[in-house]
């Protein structure tokens, strides 16, 4: 299948959150101007042929911090270089802030049709503790602004197992999302990376332990389901017909091109990535000369690891189609004790993890691949 997915990394944030290790720098206007030019230049240099794009995803960082005019220029550049299908999904990650309504109207006019809003919590104390710049009222204002402009496809991010978060906090946030009309939710357990302010300050000692994290996760899965959000991936939930098309391609092990510092690609059968170095990206005459090789992609092990993140898991039929000669017997054998433990379901159609299996996904998938 030809590559029809493009990821653009926008490496700017208004302020760094203390738990985050995504690649981003301060949203300095002159740097953002230079970056916009550099990405437009990268489009012209891209040594890959893509099919007209079915999905375009602006991730970060905080893409909305780039501002509506720069983002619209980038999307125009994407359209002229690669082509965008008329029914494409075009997503921009946003954070609530006072400039957002103006940005959103530029995005809507430019052809963006899906927003992913970094809500994280609806509790102002939790938001302050997480170092977020917005309040719950700011989230409401951002959602209202999005609807006013014309957006109807909205995804909200929620963080689970943060210090002091109770199950009723999760329930309240879930009901907020449903009442706000979000069609898609992403819910991630707070993971404290060592090389962040939270990591250095030992904040993990204030976070729920493994049992508490499991309770938070399984409660969230349950309450989302009750509100009509079906789990379709470890951390993602959607109302019928509203899964994230772009992200689904990652888990289905399909090819995509990523552009920008720290962006990863799977294209031409190879995994590659740009270094986490904005200055290097800006200064490089040939942006794609910066790409580092990360080995071949799409083998059986990788396919299983990615597909088993999805609730639908893998089917024997798809495995046989993608890997001619594939023998399911060893996998079925290894799955037997895990199925007895309630961690997965292995039947005549295929194999998929249960919500309890998702909680231990790394070790469950590791057992299957041994
Ligand atoms: S806004 Fe998002 S990308 Fe930026 S620092 Fe916070 S969590 Fe990280």
Atom 8 of ligand 1: nearest residue by CA position: 20
**Atom of ligand 1 at shortest range from CA of 20:** 8
Q: For residue 1, what pLDDT band results from cuts at 50, 70 and 90?
A: confident
In this prediction, residue 370 carries a pLDDT of 82
- Return the percentage of the chain with pLDDT > 90, whole number: 95
- Closest listed residue to residue 369, CA positions, set 317, 314, 321: 314
Residues 166-175: tens digit of each pLDDT: 999 999 999 9
**Superfamily covering domain 5-251:** Aldolase class I (3.20.20.70)
What 8-state DSSP symbol labels residue 28?
-
Q: Separation of 336 CA from ligand 1 center, angstroms?
A: 41
Residues 351-365: tens digit of each pLDDT: 999 999 999 999 999
Q: Give CATH for domain 310-369.
A: 1.10.10.920
Question: Is any ligand 1 atom within 6 A of the Cβ of residue 191?
Answer: no
Distances (CA, A) of 59 to 90, 124, 158: 11, 25, 16
Query: At residue 236, does pLDDT exceed 90?
Result: yes
- Closest listed residue to residue 349, CA positions, set 322, 317, 324: 317
Query: For every residue of 80-133, which 3-state class applies, written as one string?
Result: HHHCEEEEEEEEEEECCCCCHHHHHHHHHHHCCCEEEEEEECCCHHHHHHCCCC
Question: Is any ligand 1 atom within 6 A of the Cβ of residue 118?
Answer: yes
Per-domain boundaries in the chain: 5-251, 310-369
């Amino acid at each position: 299948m030809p590559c029809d997915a493009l990821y653009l990394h926008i490496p700017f944030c208004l302020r760094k959150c203390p738990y985050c290790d995504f690649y981003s720098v301060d949203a300095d206007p002159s740097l953002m101007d230079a970056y916009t030019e550099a990405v437009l230049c990268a489009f012209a240099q891209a040594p890959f042929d893509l099919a007209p794009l079915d999905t375009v995803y602006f991730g970060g960082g905080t893409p909305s911090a780039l501002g509506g005019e720069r983002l619209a220029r980038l999307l125009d550049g994407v359209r002229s270089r690669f082509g965008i299908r008329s029914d494409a999904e075009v997503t921009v990650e946003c954070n609530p802030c006072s400039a957002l309504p103006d940005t959103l109207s530029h995005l809507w006019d430019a052809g963006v049709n899906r927003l992913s809003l970094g809500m994280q919590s609806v509790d102002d104390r939790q938001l302050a503790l997480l170092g977020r710049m917005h309040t719950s009222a700011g989230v409401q204002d951002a959602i209202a602004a999005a609807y006013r402009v014309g957006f109807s496809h909205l995804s909200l991010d929620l963080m689970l197992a943060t210090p002091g978060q109770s199950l009723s906090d999760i329930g309240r946030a879930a009901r907020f999302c449903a009442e706000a009309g979000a069609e898609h939710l992403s819910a991630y357990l707070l993971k404290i990376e060592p090389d962040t302010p939270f990591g250095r300050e030992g904040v993990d000692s204030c976070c729920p332990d493994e049992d508490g994290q499991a309770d938070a996760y399984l409660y969230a899965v349950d309450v989302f389901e009750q509100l009509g959000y079906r789990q379709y991936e470890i951390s993602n939930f959607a109302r019928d017909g509203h899964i994230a098309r772009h992200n689904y391609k990652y888990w289905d092990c399909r090819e995509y091109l990523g552009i920008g510092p720290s962006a990863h690609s799977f294209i031409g059968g190879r995994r590659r990535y740009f270094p986490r170095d904005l200055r290097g990206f800006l200064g490089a005459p040939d942006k794609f000369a910066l790409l580092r090789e990360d080995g071949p992609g799409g083998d059986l092990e990788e396919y299983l690891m990615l597909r088993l993140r999805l609730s639908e898991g893998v089917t024997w039929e798809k495995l046989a189609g993608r890997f001619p000669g594939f023998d399911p017997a060893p996998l079925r054998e290894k799955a037997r004790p895990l199925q007895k433990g309630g961690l997965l379901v292995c039947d005549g159609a295929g194999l998929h993890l249960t919500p309890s299996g998702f909680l231990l996904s790394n070790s469950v998938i590791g057992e299957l691949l041994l």
